[in-house]
Amino acid sequence: MNIAPTPAHQARPHRLFWWKEALIVAIFYVIYSSIRNQFGSNRIASEGIPRAAFRNAERVIRWEEAVGLYHELTVQSWFLGMRWFIQFWNVFYGTAHFIVTLTVFAVLFWKRPQVFPQWRNSLAAMTALAIIGFAFFPLMPPRLLDEPCPWESANSYGGSCIASDLRDEENGFGFVDTLAEYGGTWSFDSEAMASISNQYAAMPSLHIGWATWCAIALWPLLRRRRAKLAMLAYPAVTLFCIVITGNHYWMDGVGGIIVFGFGAVFGWSAHRWNQERLDRRWLALSADL
């Protein structure tokens, strides 16, 4: 005689719902964007945000100079004569960050459901930690160092009017705002984009943090060596992109890796705690049947 298995004889089912995950992502990103933008370029100059962001940029440059690695300007200058090349990376900067991350998120949901929650939690924790960096360390990206100050132009959020011994009297810092000069998928010059963006949210770089998350999370699913190498190269390619477009210092990338590390530890710990909690509930339910 066959006896139907009871819950006590069964492993606890792990159920994921795509609509629930999509809703979580949408709500979290709206909250993240609204909080991030409270500390950025849509704030008026009198609140001191641009000046603080410029001073922090000076600190980052001095730190990089101290270790002999302030080479962003040199790297960018190598490619400025290649218009199509710069335009490609402007588009990459504005699209891959979201497209690749969402694609990996979906692949993990369908192909690695058993570990999907821990990677979802890690992504959320990393992004939340980044908000703290944006709030307490606003940072002016290289491309804005020579742009007009907020009180000089309604759509500019640079630091040209702030005195600095790091700026060359004739050439300034020398960085080029490639999005403004070469074009891309959008423009910060529009009032609408300026009002909803935080151009001082540079430290840590979530472009690097999310790229690292993508590479490590997707690695176990890849079989071909070329695919593995391409995925591992993705964070390095992203670092190259954020530097030549003038959107970040390389140290911002280090910050992105650091918040990824803390986010991963928190995400995995939260997932383990939640699984143990659900297991105890399942066992208690099974014992009552």
Q: How far apart are the first and last CA of the chain?
A: 21
The full length of the chain comes to 289
- Mean pLDDT calculated for residue range 131-152: 88
Q: Which residue has the higher pLDDT, 168 or 49?
A: 168
Provide the pLDDT for residue 46: 45
Residue 25 buriedness (CB in 10 A; 0-12 / 13-18 / 19+): middle
Provide the pLDDT for residue 20: 73
Instruction: For residues 141 and 247, give the distance between their C-alpha atoms in angstroms, rounded to a whole number.
Output: 5
Residue 9 has pLDDT above 50, yes or no: no
Residues in CB range of 185: below 8 A, 6 or more apart: 90, 91, 94, 95
**Per-residue pLDDT tens for 210-263?**
999 999 999 888 888 888 888 889 999 999 999 999 999 999 999 999 999 999
- Contact, 12 vs 282, CB < 8 A? yes
Reported pTM:
0.84
Instruction: For residues 126 and 189, give the distance between their C-alpha atoms in angstroms, rounded to a whole number.
Output: 29
Q: Over the chain, what is the mean pLDDT?
A: 83
Instruction: For residues 100 and 98, give the distance between their C-alpha atoms in angstroms, rounded to a whole number.
Output: 6
Residue 103 has pLDDT above 70, yes or no: yes
Pair of tokens at residue 3? 């006896």
Radius of gyration, CA atoms only, the chain: 23
With CA atoms as reference, report the closest residue to 234 among 122, 101, 118, 102. Answer: 101
- Mean pLDDT calculated for residue range 76-101: 94
- Contact, 52 vs 202, CB < 8 A? no
**Per-residue pLDDT tens for 27-45?**
777 776 666 666 554 454 4
Q: Which residue has the higher pLDDT, 22 or 206?
A: 206
Instruction: For residues 90 and 178, give the distance between their C-alpha atoms in angstroms, rounded to a whole number.
Output: 7
Instruction: For residues 135 and 12, give the distance between their C-alpha atoms in angstroms, rounded to a whole number.
Output: 42
Lowest mean pLDDT across 6-15, 30-39, 92-101, 149-158: 6-15
Provide the pLDDT for residue 243: 97
Instruction: For residues 237 and 244, give the distance between their C-alpha atoms in angstroms, rounded to a whole number.
Output: 11
**Per-residue pLDDT tens for 144-188?**
999 888 767 666 788 888 888 899 878 899 999 999 888 776 666
Instruction: For residues 30 and 37, give the distance between their C-alpha atoms in angstroms, rounded to a whole number.
Output: 11
Percent of the chain with pLDDT over 90: 45
Provide the pLDDT for residue 205: 96
Backbone torsions φ then ψ of 71, nearest 5 degrees? -125, 10
Q: Which residue has the higher pLDDT, 202 or 154?
A: 202
Provide the pLDDT for residue 199: 85
Provide the pLDDT for residue 153: 65
Domain boundaries, the chain: 72-279
Pair of tokens at residue 149? 């100050």
Provide the pLDDT for residue 157: 80
Residue bearing tokens 């459901």: 113
Tell me 210's DSSP state. H
SS3 182: helix
- Contact, 211 vs 241, CB < 8 A? no
